[in-house]
Amino acid sequence: MTARSPPSAANAPFDQLTVLREQRGPPRLRSGELLALARACGADDAGLVSIDDPALSDEVPFIATAFPTARTLLALVGRMHREPVRSPARSIANLEFHASGRGLDDIARGIVRRLEDADIPALNPAMAFPMEMDDFPQRAWIVSHKRVAEAAGLGRMGLHRSLIHPRFGSFILLNTVLIAAEVDEVAVPLEHNPCLSCKLCVAACPVGALKPDGGFDFSACLNHNYQQFMGGFVNFVEDVADSRSAADFRARHSYAETVTRWQSLSYGPNYNAAYCIAVCPAGEDVIGPYLADKAEHLRAVVDPLKKRTEPVYVVRGSDAADHVARRFPHKRVRFVRQSVRATTVGGFLTGMPLTFQPGRARGLSAVYHFLFTGRETARATVTIRDQRITIVDGHVGTHDLRIIVDGSTWVKFLNREVGLLRLLATRRLRLRGSPRLLAAFGRCFPI
């Protein structure tokens, strides 16, 4: 064990849980015993963090909704096998993801069982799915396992936005157990980041979601990697409904794509790419071959994924579409609709940074004041300048374009249920400023 974990936990075998109960306040557990329990149940590593940790302040409202009595978070690490994840055959990689994920859920459930036997309430959210989809595409997860694991000293997030464990590297999955008890000692975050900044993840990403400067195109990753489920599945169902005939449907979706969606429904979500994890050489158990022969790592691990002929799902007119055409001309571009779809004004405002396309904003410098009326009223200032976007509540400064519209009407417009010309003609959407700025705004958010 490393110094980040409580000293009492180092290689401690699990015997039993000592529950210390006081007249007031939640029960207390010994950290060493709790971590030993996690390992006895099968976790490859574990760490503890308090619900009061400032790093988790954004998580607390969601945790409290699911489990109001949570006082301690037990972060769990499950190691994946490297070669299956690295395989260009996605069925092999997906089998590893699912098998490892189910194993980690079983581990968390086993820990909850032992805690319940000791009269300690505990809750185990899913490692990945199922999630709370009522407000999708807004937040669906109960707790961010990556944030908890980072606070618990189990690693740091790398350039690829995944957690890198100091020993196992990127080849891990995470889970969290929420516990209605306090502990005598918690971990501290890892001082160093295992990420090598080698940028192999940037080179391997088929849609350019990872940027050399550390930027991240969330929508590009979602549209391609998660195409078979969530937002991509919604678009698929609507294509079925809109198709005039079987031939019309086949023109929209190939035979293989339809079968692939069946496979995701039958055997769990199939990810199209996890190349950023596959090529990562970080971690004590992983880095040796890379340091010994970097050229061989490129040849054996990185190149097969880059050279793979595969469909790449991108939105027409997006930065990702340009990236595929420029960097991977041998891959098959498949144009799809945006998977991040606003269903409320709040969703539109929070989702803009996720779908904003810096490449399409080149040369644009404008301030937009949105005034939403109706059931969901809101005021917001959106500034696009230097290929960056900022969004603040209220109207700040002088606008270049003011947009006044009923909130529900705007959502229908975004989802192509009503046309812009009709909205302008009927004055259901009013502009104060140049309409060209609205067109420029739209180019930054291709759908």
Secondary structure string (H, E, C) spanning 346-367:
HHHHHHHHHHCCHHHHCCCCEE
Q: Does the pLDDT at position 10 exceed 70? A: no
Asked if residue 101 lies in contact with residue 128, where contact means CB atoms within 8 angstroms, the answer is: yes
- pLDDT band for position 1 (cuts 50, 70, 90): very low
- The pLDDT tens digits of the residues spanning 157-206 come to 999 999 999 999 999 999 999 999 999 999 999 999 999 999 999 999 99
Q: How far apart are CA 402 and CA 311, in angstroms?
A: 40
Q: Does the pLDDT at position 7 exceed 90? A: no
- The pLDDT tens digits of the residues spanning 125-164 come to 999 999 998 888 888 899 999 999 999 999 999 999 999 9
Strand blocks (E) in 110-180: 122-123, 156-157, 163-164, 172-179
pLDDT at 142: 95
3-state SS assignment for residue 188: coil
Q: Is the dihedral of CA 34, 35, 36, 39 positive or negative?
A: positive
Please give the average per-residue pLDDT across 417-433, as a whole number.
94
pLDDT at 86: 97
Whole-number average pLDDT of the chain: 94
Q: Is the dihedral of CA 295, 296, 302, 307 positive or negative?
A: positive
Q: Does the pLDDT at position 81 exceed 70? A: yes
- The pLDDT tens digits of the residues spanning 28-55 come to 999 999 999 999 999 999 999 999 999 9
Domains annotated on the chain, with CATH: 7-183 (3.40.109), 200-336 (no CATH), 345-443 (3.30.1050.10)
N-to-C CA span, the chain = 48
- pLDDT band for position 410 (cuts 50, 70, 90): very high
Q: How far apart are CA 291 and CA 288, in angstroms?
A: 5
- The pLDDT tens digits of the residues spanning 273-322 come to 999 999 999 999 999 999 999 999 999 999 999 999 999 999 999 999 99
Question: In the chain, what is the greatest distance between 2 CA atoms, to the nearest angstrom?
Answer: 75
Q: Does the pLDDT at position 3 exceed 50? A: no
Q: Which two tokens stand for residue 259?
A: 């079968």
pTM, whole model, 2 decimals? 0.91
pLDDT at 169: 98
List, as one string, the DSSP characters of 397-411.
S--SEEEEEEHHHHH
Q: How far apart are CA 156 and CA 172, in angstroms?
A: 12
Q: Does the pLDDT at position 8 exceed 70? A: no
pLDDT at 358: 96
Q: How far apart are CA 279 and CA 38, in angstroms?
A: 29
Q: How far apart are CA 392 and CA 257, in angstroms?
A: 40
Q: Does the pLDDT at position 9 exceed 70? A: no
Q: Does the pLDDT at position 350 exceed 60? A: yes
Q: How far apart are CA 178 and CA 121, in angstroms?
A: 9
- pLDDT band for position 5 (cuts 50, 70, 90): very low
pLDDT at 11: 57
* Residue 96, burial from CB neighbour count under 10 angstroms (0-12, 13-18, 19+): buried
Asked if residue 337 lies in contact with residue 344, where contact means CB atoms within 8 angstroms, the answer is: no
Q: How far apart are CA 293 and CA 69, in angstroms?
A: 51
Asked if residue 252 lies in contact with residue 349, where contact means CB atoms within 8 angstroms, the answer is: no
Give CA separation, 419 vs 411, 415, 422, 428, 442, in Å: 12, 10, 6, 11, 13
7 versus 44: the higher-pLDDT residue is 44
Q: Does the pLDDT at position 428 exceed 50? A: yes
